[in-house]
Structure 1
Amino acid sequence: MLFATLAEQSHAAAALEEGVNTTGIFRHLHTPRVLFGQAFTLRQVVFGLFLVFCLTPWASPPIALALGLLLAQTVGNPFTSHTKAFTHKLLQFSVIGLGFGMNAHAAVQAGKEGILFTVVSIFGTLLLGYFVGKWLGLGRHVVHLISCGTAICGGSAIAAIGPVLGAKDEEMSVGLGTVFVLNALALFAFPPIGHALHMSQNQFGLWCAIAIHDTSSVVGAAAAYGNQALEVATTVKLARALWIIPVAIGTALVFKQKGVKIKIPYFIFGFILAMLVNTFVPAAKPVGPVMVSLAKIGLTVTLFFIGAGLSAKVVKSVGIKPYVLGVVLWVVISTASLYVILHAV
């Protein structure tokens, strides 16, 4: 009895920390029960059922993200620390797996088309972010983190630039929270816009790579649009992600940080290797479809985990000004790149 009471209190405390309602039916969802000697809660069962569904052919990246968001806003994520630790690695392995479905020659062509957009949009976003952030009165670290996340590759860029910047945990949380919320919106909004504007697969893939922050949402939106869009978006986005290195070096110089360690996104080289194997090693051809299928499942689960981490508390804790900065940067880069792509590609 004492064990059950203590367990119930600990689960309730965790739920309150996540900003989840623990009254009425929600209290029953958080109350531990014992079956076959194992303690579990009903919200853990709900999480498990959603996760299993994400492994089936009926799930898609947008549906998985929606399920994660639904879980986060209602019963809460019972495995927050685990999903947070697992998400990054799962995304990396999924991206590498997608490389087994891509052709190196087509990727080089896509990279050539996207390089000018990449350079202009990255430096344009960082410059615009500086002035808008100054106008809003935000701290330099928060402004730079959100700007880098928007300009390069979302959460990965923030995670790499933060230590170089010497950013505090709260500043990192604000940057990540802003980017992930806008990521979720982009995943749902971009495919309908692309269809409404009758964008080609190539155009849409290029637009996703430039205008959507995080690699997970880029790949998810492009996969919903078509295979060619997925190939273009993934290639251009990963080439864009390599700009973490020069931007991190520039950050260390501008903010006068010495002796910092720059985090290189090595998984990109795994993606390139997988693509080269798929293109130039005929014996590996039968493996390609299997790896791509597993990668798409991994991406779907990744987006479920990301959605499950966006609780109401996380969204509210960011504050309005960082969202204003993020939205301004996002709208400018989205509309400007869309205009150029529709008229030049």
Structure 2
Amino acid sequence: MNKIKNYIPGILLTIVFALLGKLLSGFIPHGLISPSVFGLLLGMIFNPYIANNKSLTGGIKFVAKKVLKIAIILMGVSLNIYQVAEVGKYSLFVMCFTLFTAFFFGHLLGKAFHMNWKLSSLISAGTGICGGSAIASIAPTIEAENSDVAYAISATFIFDIVMVILFPIAGKYFGMSDLGYGLWAGTAVNDTSSVVAAGYAFSEAAGNFAIIVKLTRTLSIVPVVLIFSVINSKTKHNKESAKKVDVKAIFPWFILLFLVVVGINSTGIIPATTAINITKLSKFLMIMSLSAIGLSTNFKEMSKSGFLPMVHGFIISLLVVIVSFCVQYFVGQI
């Protein structure tokens, strides 16, 4: 009981920062910058003032680690396994190319830039899957530092801001159909809020399709997390022990619960109003978690990574945009 009481001040602080994040995001047109990004940035700004306050650190750490996983589990209510069938095999075909591009070239660039493999992987995941949600899901699996999480989210959201402005202009210039543009935005823009902004800036139909593609793309979190569980296990052990991977020890059980929630939601037994409220709760808990990560991140320590990770994120994001467009072009969708 005393341990829980010790967590309360830190938890309350993350709630305050989450509310501030939502407030600030409301002032930005089309939700261009998500509340999670604001929460993260605000936390980083205030980190020097609370870093040595022991009455806060316990609760902040709890939110950054435990509440984050709860947020991811509840996120399953916003997804449905039938969405994969709804968007069709074609969108999955495009996603295979964009995911391969993000992780393959992300790995090569990470090595070329002599980057920490965890930071490089987080940037690739944020670019290839779904921005902050993917980064937050994979981070505990590979035991990434909070500074890596903060840098990865920063690298992806800056590119998203540019894309929200340029995507509708490019789509109209190329004379894309609502379907083609929705697939392009849904597979190439990172954060969900940015996909919404870019999609509906083109047309309502394109926006609706982009959201379906984006939610389906989010499902790839599951296999990617499992793959990184094995990779992280092998990096922590020598070659001999790595051959005998303890699946129970490395399996990210919160992802299994995430799948259970997705499955339950797919049956339709969860009322629409309830699902909407749970989704809102999930998003708020995610903002709290990223605020906690920001509060745990020292900007000076993060800056030691240098400018190259930002370049890494920009190049990978640009490659994903180009690959998504080219795949659709060659199969006649554009």
SS for the counterpart of 2:252 is coil
Equivalences for residues 105-184 of structure 1 within 5 A: 106-110=83-87, 112-138=89-115, 143=120, 146-147=123-124, 150-152=127-129, 153-160=134-141, 162=142, 172-173=145-146, 175-184=148-157
Match of 1:270 in 2: 260
CA deviation after TM superposition for structure 1 residue 266, in Å: 1.7
Deviation larger for 330-339 or 260-269: 260-269
Would you tell me which structure has more helix in proportion to its own residues? Answer: 2
CA pair 203-122 structure 1, distance change in 2 beyond 3 A? same
Q: Find 1:98's aligned residue among 75, 78, 82.
A: 78
One-letter amino acid matched to 1:330: S
Alignment of 1:169-248 (within 5 A): 172-173=145-146, 175-186=148-159, 188-196=161-169, 197-198=171-172, 203=180, 206-207=183-184, 210-212=187-189, 217=191, 219-224=192-197, 225=200, 226-239=207-220, 241-246=222-227
- Hey, what does 1:88 align to over in structure 2? 69
Label 1:204 to 1:187 Cα distance change in 2 as closer, same or farther (>3 A): farther
Partner residue in 2 for 1:64: 35
Give 1:290's match in structure 2, choosing from 240, 253, 274: 274
RMSD between aligned alpha carbons? Answer: 4.4
Alpha carbons of 1:127 and 1:63: their partners in 2 closer, same or farther (altered >3 Å)? closer
Shift of 1:295: 0.8
Q: Sort the Cα spacing of 1:201 and 1:236 in 2 relative to 1 into closer, same or farther, 3 A.
A: farther
Secondary structure (helix, strand or coil) at the match of 1:242 reads helix
Q: Pick closer, same or farther for the CA change 1:251–1:315 going to 2, 3 Å.
A: closer
- TM-score (normalizing by structure 1): 0.62
**Alpha carbons of 1:134 and 1:270: their partners in 2 closer, same or farther (altered >3 Å)?**
same
Match of 1:322 in 2: 309
TM-score normalised according to structure 2 size: 0.63
Measured in 1, the distance between the counterparts of 2:22 and 2:115 equals 42
Q: CA separation in 1, counterparts of 2:157 and 2:45?
A: 17
Structure 1 residues 146 and 289, CA gap change in structure 2 (3 angstroms): same
Say if 1:193 and 1:159 are closer, same or farther in 2 by CA, change over 3 A: farther
C-alpha displacement at 1:212, in angstroms?
5.0
1:332, distance to aligned residue in structure 2 (A): 1.4
- Distance in 2 (alpha carbons) for counterparts of 1:220 and 1:205: 14
Secondary structure at 1:344's aligned position in 2? coil
Structure (1 or 2) with the larger CA radius of gyration: 1
Tell whether the 8 Å contact from 1:147 to 1:329 is kept in structure 2 after alignment: yes
Distance 1:341 1:80, change over 3 A: farther
Query: Would you say how many aligned residue pairs link Structure 1 and Structure 2?
Result: 284
Distance in 1, Cα, partners of 2:276 & 2:16: 28
How far apart, CA to CA, are the structure 1 residues paired with 2:146 and 2:36? 20
Q: What is the alpha-carbon distance in structure 1 between the residues aligned to residue 93 and residue 213 of structure 2?
A: 15
CA contact (8 A) 1:126 1:147 kept: yes
Percent of paired sites with the same residue: 16
The answer to whether the 8 A contact 2:39-2:288 is kept is yes
**Contact 2:126 2:153 (8 Å CA) reproduced:** no
Structure 1: 5+ residue runs without aligned partners? 1-37, 163-168
Q: Deviations over 1:307-345 (max 9, x none)?
A: 564463464243323333233222212332244447636
Q: CA deviation at 1:238?
A: 0.7
Q: Find the residue that maps to 2:267 and give its secondary structure.
A: helix
